[in-house]
Amino acid sequence: MSSPLILALDIGTTSTRALLFDAEGRALPDCIAQVANHLQTTADGGATFDANQLLQSVVAVIDQCLVMAGSRAAQIAAVASDTFVSNVMGVSTAGEPVTPVFTYADTRNAPDTETLRAELDEEARAASHDRTGCLLHTSYLPARFRWLERTHPDWLRGGVYWLAFGEYLYWKLLGQRLASYSVASWTGLLDRHTLTWDETWLARLPVGQEQLSPLGDVDTPLQGLLPPWAERWPALKDVPWLPAIGDGAAANIGSGCDTPQRIALTVGTTGAMRVVLPPAISAVPAGLWLYRVTRDRGLLGGATTEGGNLYAWLRETLQLPPS
């Protein structure tokens, strides 16, 4: 019997990739496709994607990877994905985008973040941090929805779902909406204790729970491509598609840092340190965040900007040789 393969999708802010992995977790070197993504920025702090352009980049890398796989495509047993997180977009009930994809880098809601800080006293801010694992910050959805309410109230009227891009992708391909606990934990709206959308925050925001996706985990895959995609990718027609997890969670798992004994350090446009822990820790340390990998694995860490500059400074100061 042929060994099963996994099609992995990595949807980031700079590029989208599709890779095939074997049963031992090894990438097939001749089955890697990559397409650049183009973040649209504005002078006032905007940082967005066109949802359909991003969708087409995913379609393109799947097309390319399946061509590279040839007859091996029949061995694909599942599709797994990770996406950039702390993003949100408005989608009509017909499944069409009504807004761009607002990314974590969009800082136009900075005044709204400060407004929320002023509205909540220290005790309420601490309670929010404990419930959601997230601080008040421009990257999270409480301030994003307040900004939308202030600047684009028409987008917040009824008949609009609010999804992360990975949820939109699966809705377009499979006809179902589902947010993984991992991706939801990066919104600032997931109650980490109950694994439900946070009622306290929703009561303060111009969106209702019915406008957010149902929640699930990687053990609740979606299955059955819609007809146009089933015809395009027959090898993927009936395989399970695991809900997307956050790219930070995937970075820990992919680097082997999936236990409390190993910390993952990422140095890029931003820098981050993350460690996988049991999620039921009594309190989230001040200044840090606690996301989810799965329902039973948390991701504790912190991040800073200018990670690439730190790397350059270390190389120059320590006179490190070229890699």
Structural domain includes residue 314:
no
pLDDT mean values, one per 10 residues, the chain (323 residues): 91 97 94 97 98 98 98 98 98 96 98 98 97 97 98 89 98 98 98 98 97 96 97 98 97 94 84 89 92 96 76 82 75
Structural domain includes residue 36:
yes
Structural domain includes residue 270:
no
Structural domain includes residue 32:
yes
The pLDDT assigned to 267 comes to 78
CATH of the domain at 238: 3.30.420.40
The pLDDT assigned to 323 comes to 65
Please state whether 162 falls in left (phi above 0), alpha (psi between -120 and 50) or beta. beta
Overall number of domains in the chain: 1
The pLDDT assigned to 210 comes to 96
Structural domain includes residue 229:
yes
CA 128 to chain centre: 21
Structural domain includes residue 136:
yes
Residue 112 belongs to what domain range?
5-246
Structural domain includes residue 158:
yes
What is the pTM for the complete model shown? Answer: 0.93
Structural domain includes residue 267:
no
